[in-house]
Amino acid sequence: MKDSDIIQLGHGAGGSLQDDLIEFITKTVKIRRVGTGIGLDAFEDGATIPLSAEDADKEIVLSADGHTVFPLRFPGGDLGKLAVCGTVNDLCMMGAHPIALTSAVIVEEGMRAKNLREIMDSFNHTAAEAGVAVITGDTKVMPKGTLQEMIIVTTGIGKKPKNRKILNSNVQAGDKIIVTGSVGDHGIALMAARENIELGCRLESDVAILKPLAEIAFHYSDLHMMKDPTRGGLAAALNEVATKSHVSIWLKEEAIPIKKEVRAVADILGLDPLEIACEGRFIAAVAANQADDLVKALQTHPLGIDTIIIGEARADRKGRVLMETIVGGTRFVDMPLGELIPRIC
Amino acid sequence: MKDSDIIQLGHGAGGSLQDDLIEFITKTVKIRRVGTGIGLDAFEDGATIPLSAEDADKEIVLSADGHTVFPLRFPGGDLGKLAVCGTVNDLCMMGAHPIALTSAVIVEEGMRAKNLREIMDSFNHTAAEAGVAVITGDTKVMPKGTLQEMIIVTTGIGKKPKNRKILNSNVQAGDKIIVTGSVGDHGIALMAARENIELGCRLESDVAILKPLAEIAFHYSDLHMMKDPTRGGLAAALNEVATKSHVSIWLKEEAIPIKKEVRAVADILGLDPLEIACEGRFIAAVAANQADDLVKALQTHPLGIDTIIIGEARADRKGRVLMETIVGGTRFVDMPLGELIPRIC
């Protein structure tokens, strides 16, 4: 298969054309198996991850994520990078060390092979950067007009110690709430690109592998919750953890990092930056006595340089998120009903 | 969310509407976690499967599969049942005992909630029938016109003993090749429904969970290969294992079970039944001295009642599949280039 080819229905039909397609989209995968397991290079119907005696105190962690973004390439990333980051980050947010990915790639008939290869190269390079193997997958081709461009669905596999409890339901009253950087960059960069909004500066998606930053955080024994504020943004993420942990979360508006260009585009489009997706940030809840140390540790990594405490969890008004505004009032930050920006992550 | 609702973009956007959708499509899941792990009921960003000392001699087995079928309902099954069977069967074909599924459900804006629920109920009931937990998932909604109806991508997780080697690359010269039932039923039933071909009888897809049949086969120490002939049918499956195992496979045409109505529809449509997908059969390679016993054992189960030896593996003409025809000649059964029937599994 060559860059100049066009994807045909036969490329998804289980014959020799499909073998060509699989070889074409996986040839840049760097890590193809886990240990002595069966991996991508075996071309079996699946893959294996060998276990050993030292896994007896561990759990396998799994996270599934469907990715569909329009346009396929956006400032700061593309669908391939997004698909790996989204899934690897979800594993990290559960306290896991990511090991491997499975991927299902669904493509529209008529797609240019070159475009597909570029997205999959980005997928494969991002997986290598994250140190995760791509061990098995699936490809399907849908008839022209029944799918716009392509979808990548990834399942991530990691391992974590059984006694590490980093959960949406584990925030304790008194915990400090931190965020590792500015919010809304991904969603706004995508919308600005889609709507051709001139910014006078380059606004890029924050899409990134959070693994190195998460692994710094794992050292803190009283880290109770980590979550990446993707669809629905900070507002959805905080409401979810407030509800699940039976606490309230009190934010200080002045502390929440929002880039001025993000705020400007959000204003133009009538969007609240707190409801806009990030793809390279996380929020965390940590006991107050470890909060300053954690913040400083995260700031040592380029991805966490802007880490800041944005609020705290309290025992009253369980399930609510409240914000002390810059002008001195207090307002609720509600769960978004559903942000009406499709195909964003 | 009610059956009379219509899926909106907001149902996939990370807010409270999305929570409604997730609750709606998962409420009939019967097994929601593995052991003491985090499962679907925790509504975290993923799930966990606890390991123990007795897993030290095991491997985790993973298989990913994207499912898109048109129409969503066909004689004998629907997309939901197909998505579970396809993935659970792939695990079994690797010698694994299926444990759990992750699912990503991608839906077109405007789909009727009732239709979505029926497909997901079928998914959930089939998972319960297979005894596998549905532990985590993802939902996305794509704008109307960018996806026809829906896609389900499942990743299956199982465990197998490390020393069980049932592989496409492990067929030995001298092995007998068996098939557990008639071939081509799924693809032809789907095509007949799609083309409104009157059959004068009811032809149903063979889609089924192969786990009970596979677990009978696992008892045979010299079982070398199992494979379900899905996309590309028997021809693709046998060519794949012949190539990977460096053997030839010699078939006896008279032994291959093909229903007369399957043959009739295939003739009308100009298709070769050997290239048509099954979703509830497997082929296997087993040492000659265990073949008759294995066939008899599989025939004791309703799913395997028509199990039969269809050929054998030989050391010459490596990588080729040959068939001794009913009229006494020998012909090659080639790898299909790519069957031109889209959205079949």
Shared-domain flag, residues A245 and A309: yes
Q: Are B13 and A339 in contact (CB under 8 A)?
A: yes
Antiparallel, parallel or unpaired: β A73-74 and A308-314: unpaired
A343 to chain B, closest Cα gap in Å: 6
Could you give the CA distance from residue B278 to residue B273 in angstroms, rounded to a whole number?
A: 10
Q: Which of B17, B21, B48 to mutate to test the interface with A (most CBs of A within 10 A)?
A: B48
Q: Provide the pLDDT for residue A241.
A: 96
Whether the complex's predicted ipTM is more than 0.90 is answered with: yes
Average pLDDT for B322-340: 89
pLDDT at B179 over 80: yes
Shared-domain flag, residues B151 and B292: no
Which tens digits make up the pLDDT trace of A268-318? 889 999 999 999 999 999 999 999 999 999 999 999 999 999 999 999 999
Shared-domain flag, residues B97 and B235: no
Shared-domain flag, residues A148 and A194: no
pLDDT at A201 over 80: no
Shared-domain flag, residues B136 and B184: no
CATH number (domain holding residue A28): 3.30.1330.10
Shared-domain flag, residues B40 and B144: yes
Final residue belonging to a domain, choices B161, B194, B229: B161
Q: Which of A331, A311, A296 is nearest to A254 (CA)?
A: A311
Instruction: Output b/e per residue, B256-294; b: 16+ Cβ within 10 A.
Output: bbbbebbebbbeeeebbbbbbbbbbbbbbbbbeebbeeb
A251 to chain B, closest Cα gap in Å: 19
Query: Which residue of B53, B63, B231 is in closest CB contact with A13?
Result: B231
Shared-domain flag, residues B141 and B281: no
Count up the domains in chain A and report the number: 2
Q: What angle do CA B5, B10, B14 make, to 5 degrees?
A: 125
Is residue B255 included in any domain, yes or no?
yes
pLDDT at A187 over 90: yes
Structure tokens belonging to residue B102: 């992750």
Is residue A1 included in any domain, yes or no?
no
Is residue B293 included in any domain, yes or no?
yes
Which tens digits make up the pLDDT trace of B123-164? 999 999 999 999 999 999 999 999 999 999 999 999 999 999
Q: Which of A213, A319, A295, A307 is nearest to A257 (CA)?
A: A307
Q: Does A147 touch chain B (CB under 8 A)?
A: yes
Give the A:B interface size as CB pairs under 8 Å: 299
Q: Are A294 and A236 in contact (CB under 8 A)?
A: no
B48 to chain A, closest Cα gap in Å: 4
Contact B338 A160 (CB under 8 A): no
Is residue A150 included in any domain, yes or no?
yes
Contact A342 B168 (CB under 8 A): no
pTM of the model: 0.95
Sign of the alpha-carbon dihedral angle for B20, B22, B25, B27: negative
Which residues in chain A have their CB less than 8 angstroms from residue B230's CB? 14
Shared-domain flag, residues A181 and A328: yes
Q: Provide the pLDDT for residue A126.
A: 98
Contact B15 A63 (CB under 8 A): no
Q: Provide the pLDDT for residue B343.
A: 83
Shared-domain flag, residues B111 and B184: no
A337 pLDDT band, cuts 50/70/90, is: confident
A249 to chain B, closest Cα gap in Å: 17
Shared-domain flag, residues B104 and B34: yes
Q: Provide the pLDDT for residue B339.
A: 60
**Angle, helix A113-130 to helix A16-26, in steps of 10 degrees:** 50
Domain that holds residue A144: 9-161
Is residue A283 included in any domain, yes or no?
yes
Q: Does A13 touch chain B (CB under 8 A)?
A: yes
B340 pLDDT band, cuts 50/70/90, is: low
Q: Does A161 touch chain B (CB under 8 A)?
A: no
CA distances for A168 relative to A231, A290, B31, angstroms: 16, 19, 22
pLDDT at B342 over 90: no
Sign of the alpha-carbon dihedral angle for B221, B223, B225, B227: negative
Shared-domain flag, residues A143 and A201: no
Q: Give bridge partners of residue A223 from the DSSP assignment.
A: A286
Q: Give bridge partners of residue B332 from the DSSP assignment.
A: B322
Which tens digits make up the pLDDT trace of B193-203? 888 887 777 89
CATH number (domain holding residue B240): 3.90.650.10
Q: Which of residues 196-255 of B touch A (CB under 8 A)?
A: 227-228, 230-233, 236, 244
Final residue belonging to a domain, choices B132, B161, B190: B161
Sign of the alpha-carbon dihedral angle for A120, A126, A129, A131: negative
Which tens digits make up the pLDDT trace of B94-129? 999 999 999 999 999 999 999 999 999 999 999 999
Structure tokens belonging to residue A84: 């790996």
Beginning with the edge strand found earlier in the chain, give each strand of the sheet holding B308-314 in spatial order. Answer: B223-227, B283-286, B176-179, B308-314, B248-252, B321-324, B330-332
Is residue B82 included in any domain, yes or no?
yes
Final residue belonging to a domain, choices B127, B161, B195: B161
Which residues in chain A have their CB less than 8 angstroms from residue B155's CB? 62, 64, 102, 155
Q: Which of A327, A82, A54 is nearest to A187 (CA)?
A: A82
Q: Please give the single-letter amino acid code of residue B31.
A: I
Is residue B288 included in any domain, yes or no?
yes
At residue A9, φ and ψ (nearest 5 deg) are: -55, -40
- E-state strands within chain B: 47-50, 58-67, 73-74, 77-78, 97-108, 133-142, 150-161, 176-179, 223-227, 248-252, 283-286, 308-314, 321-324, 330-332
Q: Does B35 touch chain A (CB under 8 A)?
A: no
Other C-beta atoms lying within 10 Å of the C-beta of residue A229: 26
Is residue A319 included in any domain, yes or no?
yes
Q: What is the DSSP string of B92-136?
A: HHTT-EEEEEEEEEEEETT-BHHHHHHHHHHHHHHHHHHT-EEEE
Shared-domain flag, residues A15 and A102: yes
Q: Does B147 touch chain A (CB under 8 A)?
A: yes
pLDDT at A109 over 80: yes
